[in-house]
Amino acid sequence: MKILIIDDEEVICKHLQRELQKEGFTVEYRISPLNVLEDLKRAKEDGEPYSLLFLDIRMPGMDGFELLEEIKKARLNLNVIFITGHGDEEKAIKAIRLGAFDYLNKPIFLKELHTAIYRIKQKMEREKKESFRHHVLVVDDEKNLCDRIKHELDKEGYLVTAIYDSEEGLNYFKNNRVDIVIADLKMPGMSGLEMIKQCREITDNFISIIITGHGDQETAIGALRMSIFDYLKKPFSLEELIISVDKGTDLLLLQRGLSAHKRELEIETAIKKQYADNLEKIVEERTKELQQSYQKLEIAMNATIETMSKIVEVKDPYTAGHQQRVSQLTTAIAKELNLSPDKIEGIRIASLIHDIGKISVPTEILSKSTRLSDIEFSLIKEHSQIGYDILKAIDFSYPVANIVLQHHEKINGSGYPGGLKGDEILLEAKIICVADVVEAMSSHRPYRAALGIDVALEEISQNKGILYDPEVVDTCLRIFKEKGFKFE
């Protein structure tokens, strides 16, 4: 802990410094408050901020209360203990209102000093633990429901803030780290969707859930287009909400984890380049570490991709294994086309998670055993865009997000979501499109029995050059009929 003492009596400063250094703390002091704010800002910028201030109240030029007000305006987030030889009840109350942690009267006895330090350390330990908890912001003008949600999520280990007004919720989001936003759709003033939209203008690094008693299908479609993770209609069970928050947290960790692994690899690569010219031995050592790091990254990324793939299966158990089988076929087609190893790896990853956007589609639609209505099918079609929105923030080495976005495009422009044609579509997306059709038609679905591989191959043959890329279709037919490809 780094401590700064501000008191115009140098004897007191040195006494406190000596006692606190015995406890192993880094301790400095100033006998004037006039340049302290600049010192605090500089320490923070240098990555060595102070954690605790001992602050005298009565000092020449600026009193301790004035300095603390300036510190709060600068958002320096420090613990402050006031020390004074001129204390009274009014000053103690003012110190508390300004957010001081403690208030000690001079002369300061060692027992009081050590008790205050012990309490500060306990507070910092609690804050450190809380920083690892996911922060949930609940915004709903129904105070009772808002408080019930907070109570239940608190019990699940989340750090929860409940706010009853959307404007206040947006202001809180601007000034705090938030991982999950749960917002009521219809509130006085700004709606929940509008609030989340403005939150996304600040950062995309959070998961959002809409709860409503006033929703309709058009609103649900609008929410999905905004990449809302889940859409729950009131009355809902709190258990259902907890499951949704847990799954949203898993997805957020996956998104953040992949980016962190990527940055780790880039750091290793930069270190290798820095020493390459003149430190041959270090290069050899770092290269070996880089290879090990890359192998670890590859293992971690594959595990993460596999987990993302399984998230969709939890939502849509009727298509379990679909993405894995599509990945087997796309990889075989890519190899037969003699694509580069990088392209083959990119298409393998993209195909394993090409339906990740379906996590935002209601389960009852995914598992419906009868023909979908036009509105239901329009919701299904949103999954390509939602998949892109989920993956675009992850720094893959391949255009995974764009491949996922385009995997339902057709070469005659009749596909979705962009109505792209011909060479406007990535080759990797054309391959996944064909493999997706073949696997889907040859497998069981809730609304029909499996049609078989022969019917699937006939479909791509008849629409070769119309819906599907001719070279990709020919290659797919060849690996089935001549190379004996079979789904595992």
Same-domain check for residues 111 and 168: no
Same-domain check for residues 150 and 123: no
Give a yes or no: residue 305 inside a domain: no
Q: pTM of the entire structure?
A: 0.48
Which CATH number fits the domain that encloses residue 178? Answer: 3.40.50.2300
Nearest by Cα to 182 from 155, 152, 218: 152
Same-domain check for residues 194 and 332: no
User: What is the extent of the structural domain holding 177?
Assistant: 135-236
Which CATH number fits the domain that encloses residue 475? Answer: 1.10.3210.10
Per-residue pLDDT of the chain (488 residues; tens, 9 = 90+): 899 999 999 999 999 999 999 888 999 999 999 999 999 999 988 888 999 999 999 899 899 899 989 988 888 888 899 888 876 778 877 887 888 888 888 888 888 888 888 888 877 776 665 556 789 999 999 999 999 999 989 888 889 999 999 999 999 999 888 999 999 988 998 998 899 999 989 988 898 998 888 766 777 677 767 778 888 888 888 888 888 888 888 888 777 665 544 545 554 555 455 545 544 555 566 666 656 655 655 555 666 666 666 666 666 665 568 888 999 999 999 999 999 998 998 999 899 888 888 887 777 777 777 777 888 888 888 889 988 988 887 877 789 899 999 999 999 999 999 999 999 999 999 999 999 999 989 887 666 677 889 999 999 999 999 999 999 999 999 999 998 998 87
Give a yes or no: residue 328 inside a domain: yes
Give a yes or no: residue 274 inside a domain: no
- DSSP string over 395-458: --SS-HHHHHHHTT--TBS-SSSS--BGGGS-HHHHHHHHHHHHHHHHS-BTTB----HHHHHH
Same-domain check for residues 29 and 161: no
Q: Which of 213, 236, 259 is the endpoint of a domain?
A: 236
Q: Helix or strand or coil: residue 221?
A: helix
**Number of residues written out for the chain:** 488
Q: Which of 130, 145, 172 is the endpoint of a domain?
A: 130
Same-domain check for residues 466 and 322: yes
Give a yes or no: residue 287 inside a domain: no
Q: DSSP letter at 137?
A: E
Give a yes or no: residue 303 inside a domain: no
Same-domain check for residues 146 and 114: no
Same-domain check for residues 47 and 82: yes
Q: Are 479 and 332 in contact (CB under 8 A)?
A: yes
55: tokens are: 């602050």
Same-domain check for residues 72 and 10: yes
Same-domain check for residues 446 and 323: yes
CA geometry: angle at 456 spanning 452 and 459, to 5°?
Answer: 145
Same-domain check for residues 99 and 142: no
Q: Which of 236, 269, 304 is the endpoint of a domain?
A: 236
Give a yes or no: residue 268 inside a domain: no
Give a yes or no: residue 62 inside a domain: yes
Count structural domains, the chain.
3
Same-domain check for residues 466 and 371: yes
Give a yes or no: residue 297 inside a domain: no
Same-domain check for residues 70 and 159: no
